[in-house]
Structure 1
Amino acid sequence: MLSPYRVIDLTDERGVLAGQMLADLGADVIQVEPPTGSTGRGVAPFFADRPDESIYWAAYTRGKRGITCNLEDSRGRELLLQLLESADFLIESSDVGRMTELELDYETLRDRFPRLIYTSISAFGQTGPKSQYVGSDLAIWAAGTPLLMSGDDDRAPVRISQPQAWGHASGDAAGGSMLALHARHQTGHGQHVDVSAQVSAAQATLAQVLAYQLGAGDPERYGGGVKIRGQAIRGTADVADGYIVLLMGPGPAVGHFANHAVKWLVEIGAAEPELLDENFVTYADRVATGQADPALFPRIQDIMREAVATRTKQEMLDISIEYDLLLAPVLDIVDLGDSPQLEHRGFWQEIEHADGCRVVYPGPPLNILVDGQQQGICRRPPPELGQHNAEVYGALGISADELGRLRSEGVI
Structure 2
Amino acid sequence: MGILSGYRVLDCSIAMSGPFAAQRLGDLGADVVKVEPVTGEWQRHVSAGRATGNKINVSFLSLNRNKRSLAVNLKSSGGKEVLLELVKTADVFLQNYRPGVAKRLGVDYETLSAINPRLIYISISGYGEDGPYVNYPGQDLILQGLSGAMLSTGRDGEAPTAAGQYLVDAITAYTAFEGALAALLHRERTGEGQQVQINMLDAITTLQMQELSVHTVGGKPQTRSAEPHAHVYIRAPYGAFATSDGYIIVAFPKLALFGEIIGETSFLSMQDEVDSWTRRDEIFAKTRERLKTKTSAEWLALLRAADIWCGPVYGYADLVDDPQIKHNGTFIEYDHPTEGRVKTPGFPIKFSKTPSQVERGAPLAGQHTRDVLAEAGFDKNRIEALVASGAVSEGSA
1:386 to 354, 366, 391: 366
How high is the sequence identity, in percent, across the aligned residues? 30
Tell me what 1:408 maps to. 388
Tell me what 1:202 maps to. 205
How many residues are paired up? Answer: 387
Distance in 1 (alpha carbons) for counterparts of 2:232 and 2:376: 60
Determine whether 1:67 maps to 2:55. Answer: no
1:9 to 11, 15, 34: 11
Structure 2: which amino acid aligns with 1:283? Answer: D
Distance in 2 (alpha carbons) for counterparts of 1:390 and 1:43: 26
- 8 Å Cα contact 2:70/2:372 also seen in 1: yes
Please give the per-residue CA displacement for 1:336-376, whole angstroms capped at 9, x wherever unaligned.
Answer: 11022121222221111123711111111222223xxx725
Please give the per-residue CA displacement for 1:11-32, whole angstroms capped at 9, x wherever unaligned.
Answer: 1004211101111222111111
Structure 1: which amino acid aligns with 2:314? Answer: L
Give, in angstroms, the shift of residue 396 of structure 1.
2.2
Determine whether 1:375 maps to 2:379. Answer: no
Give the 5 Å matches for 1:77-92: 77-92=80-95
Tell me what 1:55 maps to. 58
Determine whether 1:271 maps to 2:264. Answer: yes
Give the 5 Å matches for 1:108-123: 108-123=111-126
1:162 to 161, 165, 172: 165
Distance in 1 (alpha carbons) for counterparts of 2:154 and 2:182: 36
Tell me what 2:395 maps to. none
- 8 Å Cα contact 1:46/1:52 also seen in 2: no
Going from structure 1 to structure 2, the CA distance change for 1:304 and 1:148 (only over 3 Å counts) comes to: closer
Determine whether 1:245 maps to 2:211. Answer: no
SS of alignment partner, residue 352 of structure 1 = strand
Give, in angstroms, the shift of residue 151 of structure 1.
4.2
Distance in 1 (alpha carbons) for counterparts of 2:339 and 2:230: 46
Determine whether 1:260 maps to 2:232. Answer: no
Going from structure 1 to structure 2, the CA distance change for 1:387 and 1:277 (only over 3 Å counts) comes to: same
Distance in 2 (alpha carbons) for counterparts of 1:54 and 1:6: 26
2:316 to 307, 319, 333: 333
- 8 Å Cα contact 2:264/2:286 also seen in 1: yes
- 8 Å Cα contact 1:31/1:66 also seen in 2: yes
- 8 Å Cα contact 2:347/2:356 also seen in 1: no
SS of alignment partner, residue 53 of structure 1 = coil
Distance in 2 (alpha carbons) for counterparts of 1:350 and 1:33: 26
Please give the per-residue CA displacement for 1:176-222, whole angstroms capped at 9, x wherever unaligned.
Answer: 11111111122210111100100111123231221222142431234
Tell me what 2:272 maps to. 280
Give, in angstroms, the shift of residue 123 of structure 1.
0.2
Going from structure 1 to structure 2, the CA distance change for 1:316 and 1:31 (only over 3 Å counts) comes to: farther
C-alpha RMSD of matched pairs (Å): 2.6
Q: Structure 1: any 5+ residue segments left out of the alignment? A: 249-255, 288-293
SS of alignment partner, residue 220 of structure 1 = coil
Between 173-182 and 144-153, report the one with greater CA deviation. Answer: 144-153
Distance in 2 (alpha carbons) for counterparts of 1:47 and 1:228: 37
TM-score (normalizing by structure 1): 0.85
TM-score (normalizing by structure 2): 0.88
Please give the per-residue CA displacement for 1:269-322, whole angstroms capped at 9, x wherever unaligned.
Answer: x233x743433234358x5xxxxxx4xx65554443334334444444333332
Determine whether 1:398 maps to 2:395. Answer: no
Please give the per-residue CA displacement for 1:153-190, whole angstroms capped at 9, x wherever unaligned.
Answer: 11342544433312211110010111111111222101
Distance in 1 (alpha carbons) for counterparts of 2:115 and 2:256: 65
Going from structure 1 to structure 2, the CA distance change for 1:86 and 1:259 (only over 3 Å counts) comes to: farther
Going from structure 1 to structure 2, the CA distance change for 1:144 and 1:66 (only over 3 Å counts) comes to: same
Distance in 2 (alpha carbons) for counterparts of 1:73 and 1:150: 49
Give, in angstroms, the shift of residue 130 of structure 1.
2.1
Distance in 1 (alpha carbons) for counterparts of 2:89 and 2:205: 36
